[in-house]
């Protein structure tokens, strides 16, 4: 459910800030660039046979631009904090 993520409370977000972030995220993920990014990952997932089979694997972008199989938890946990790369 949008707007009720536990991290918002952890970060001490006010209701106004929460609404602003949700609006920003909605607009950001609706851009053509993000749609193409998601489409490329879905296509790679389907080609690798991991799409929708509940095997716990995702296709992850590497620094070289190639895809590699990786556990969903590892792939989604890497979020680029402390100046680190978001890519494997």
Q: Domains in the chain: how many in total?
A: 1
pLDDT at 81 over 80: no
In this structure, is residue 50 part of a structural domain?
yes
pLDDT at 83 exceeding the cut of 60: no
The pLDDT tens digits of the residues spanning 28-77 come to 999 999 999 889 888 988 888 888 888 888 888 777 878 888 888 887 77
Q: Which two tokens stand for residue 58?
A: 């995702």
In a domain, 76, yes or no: yes
Instruction: Give the model's pLDDT for residue 84.
Output: 61
H helical segments located in the chain: 6-10, 15-29, 32-48, 72-77
Q: Is residue 88 part of a domain?
A: no
Domain holding 69, by residue range, is 8-83
Q: What is the pTM assigned to this prediction?
A: 0.64
């Amino acid at each position: 459910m949008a707007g009720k993520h536990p991290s918002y409370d952890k970060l001490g977000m006010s209701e106004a800030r929460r609404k602003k972030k949700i609006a920003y995220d909605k607009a950001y993920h609706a851009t053509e660039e993000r749609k193409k990014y998601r489409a490329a990952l879905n296509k790679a997932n389907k080609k690798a046979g991991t799409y929708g089979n509940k095997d716990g694997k995702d296709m992850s972008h590497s620094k070289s631009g190639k895809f590699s199989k990786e556990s969903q938890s590892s792939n989604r946990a890497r979020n680029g904090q402390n100046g680190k790369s978001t890519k494997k």
